Structure formats: structure tokens, C-alpha cells
Amino acid sequence: MAGGAGIVKRMKLGSQGLEVSAQGLGCMGMSAFYGAPKPDHDMISLIHHAINSGVTFLDTSDIYGPFTNEILLGKALKGGVRDKVELATKFGVRFVENKMEVQGDPAYGRDTMEVQGDPAYVRAALESSLKRLGVDSIDLYYQHRIDNSVPIEVTVGELKKLVEEGKVKYIGLSEASASTIRRAHAVHPITAVQLEWSLWSRDVEQEIIPTCRELGIGIVAYSPLGRGFFASGAKFVENLAHDDSRKNLPRFQPENVEHNQTLFERVRDLAARKGCTPSQLALAWVHHQGNDVCPIPGTTKIANFDQNIAALSVKLTPEELAELESYASADAVKGDRYPNYDSTWSNTETPPLSSSNF
């Protein structure tokens, strides 16, 4: 079995000069959505272990908590640690006031959130993130979700000003459509697009990945382990905490898990032949998609982190890649990525600039 943290290579992300570790660390689950928040002391130890292992690309967002994950990272970056990392955070999603109390459900649902991208909000969100993180600038600032009521040129125009002011070094988008990416890139170079890409989320390969590559934009793959599904399949779903948001995801519903278990079992069988875990095999597949791809698996346990790092040493032959991809065909997975899945939450378009009141 592959195991133990090795040397993590560096990679160029995008075409503007940003260099990051070839694998990042998604920090969301430390504070939000995946069950109860974990103790700060333990998570700071994990973050420092990641940095010492060569994983220096840290991913957070103001909506994680909300706010508490950025505060956690701010604590972890004290004492000279800031200069050792590439810090990415996001804006653009906020909880609707009192909606959570009315719903009475702490779990994550799209109808509890609102997407916002007007210039005043962009600037206010950035200033607040800087304070929580305790830093002077953000290395990579993403629009977390695209506001389909604001032309993308308007939002990116404000981000461009923040770059010019030195408060943001590089700009990213998350869950944007190919045309939105093109329009944004025409206003200011986009360094990275963050998207869900894994063996069971491959729709981005049709338009979005080719568009990023045409424009020289780096690709950051979140949930590369199928939100943990490739750890142990149906057993993983059964063991989720009652307040884990993944219990609401369509792919984790009982009527879909049985079907999706087949994909897991095929990955597990190939992993056994390779001498690695299913998670390592799934993560290695993402790494093999190109030297412009940086996956950011999240975890709250050092042992799992070390397993994820070991995926970098799992080498796949063209035949093994083809075998994996034959398992992960379009009909291999049942269920959408999100509840109430539609174009306002994923791969989003925005109105043309001419229709803007801004």
C-alpha cells in the first residue's frame, strides 16, 4: 500500500506567475458543512503538518462557517507561517439572514444561500477576509459562485482594481461556464478556475477544461475524492454524522448509493491490484489529467492527509487510465452533484454587459 508523505512537487498555476504545491489542502471540512467543527488546536496542527510536508496551497472561503474557517487559517498563519503558503479564499456566497433558523436544519442546502457579485460587495468581502485572515493580501481570490444578475465584466472589473491596489495577487473563478470564463479573462487574466472534477464528476471535460487550457488558465479540482465516497463507498455514506451536509446530496441518497457502489467497487478492485487505496487511486487519476491540474482534497486527520500525499507516487499506465475511465462513464453515477441542481449554482452564465445598470 502506498503510504507516507513524500516530496511534493511545485507547479505553475495559470500563466501569470503563481506557483503552488502540486496538491493543495481544502480546509472547508475543518469548520463547516461536514459535521461539527473540529478543535482549532488539532486543525492548526494539521495545517502546519501539511506545510511541513510541502503542501502549501491552502484553500478556504468566507462562507465556510461562515467566517470561522478564515479565522482558523489566520491563527495557523501567525508566527512567520504566512510567507510559506499560497493562500486562496473566496467571496460571492452568503447565508440569507434567518433562513437557517426558519428552515431548522443546519445542513447545507442551496436554498439557504445567496450569490452576490456587485462591486461594493466584492470590495467589502475582500476587506473582511483580509482582517479575518490577518494578512495584507490574498494570493488567489476566487469568485466562489457566479452572480447571474451581474455581468461578469462588472465583478472582474472590481477584482482588477483590487489587484492594482495590491490587495489581491491573482484572480480565480469557481463554477463558471466556458463563456463566462472567456468574458472574465478578457477583462483581467484569470489565473485559475476551481471546479468539481473526479472519477464521478467529469462533465467539465466537455467545454470548461478545454476553454481553460486554450486560455492558459490553471485548473483546481475540488472534491477529487467524490466528497469522500472513494474512501469506502456505501459504507462511507452510512457512517456520515447526522449533521453532515453530504447526507443531502443526491448521489448519497439510498436510491442512488446502491448504483454508485458499483463504481466504487471497480475502483477498489483496481486499487488492490495496484497496491494502493481506492482514495489514492481516485486522486492519482486526477493528478494524471495534466500538469495544469491541482487537486485540493480536504481532510481533518493527519493520517488521511499522509495517504493523500502518497497518491502523488501512484503511477498509472495508459491502459489503467483507460480502464478507470471506462468505469466512470456518463451512466456510472446516479444523482446530481447538488440538490436543486441548476444553472444558477453551477457553470453559471451572466447577463451581457450592455444590459447592466452598473
Question: Three-state DSSP class for 12?
Answer: strand
DSSP state of 61: -
**Measured CA distances, 260 to 23, 99, 206, 221 (Å):** 26, 32, 22, 21
| Ranges in the chain, pLDDT < 70 | 1-6, 97-111, 340-346, 355-358
Q: How many residues does the chain have?
A: 358
Distance CA 87, CA 266 (A): 36
Q: Are 72 and 39 in contact, with CB atoms under 8 Å apart? A: no
Q: Which CATH architecture has domain 10-232+290-301?
A: Alpha-Beta Barrel (3.20)
Beta strand extents in 211-256 (DSSP E only):
218-222
Instruction: Look up residue 266 and give its amino acid.
Output: R
Long-range interactions of 325-329: CB distance < 8 A, separation 24+: 327/199, 327/263, 327/266, 327/267, 328/199, 328/200, 328/202, 328/263
> What was the pLDDT predicted at 101?
43
- Cα–Cα distance for residue pair 237/252, rounded to 1 Å: 7
CA dihedral 253, 255, 258, 263 (to 10 degrees): -70
* Residues 314/274, Cβ–Cβ less than 8 Å: yes
CA distance 351 to 189: 20
Which of the residues are catalytic?
64
Report residue 24 as a C-alpha cell: 493543495
| Ordered DSSP codes for 222-287 | ESTTGGGHHHHTHHHHHT--TTBGGGGSGGGSHHHHHHHHHHHHHHHHHHHHHTS-HHHHHHHHHH
- Which residue has cell 485559475? 192
Q: Strand runs (DSSP E) across the chain, as ranges?
A: 10-12, 19-21, 25-26, 57-59, 86-91, 93-95, 113-115, 138-143, 168-174, 192-196, 218-222, 293-295
C-alpha cell at 338: 447538488
Quick one: which of 18, 34, 13, 31 has its CA closest to 73? 31
* Integer Cα distance of 7 and 106 in angstroms: 39
The whole-number pLDDT of residue 338 equals: 86
pLDDT of residue 356: 54
Residue with cell 490553471: 218
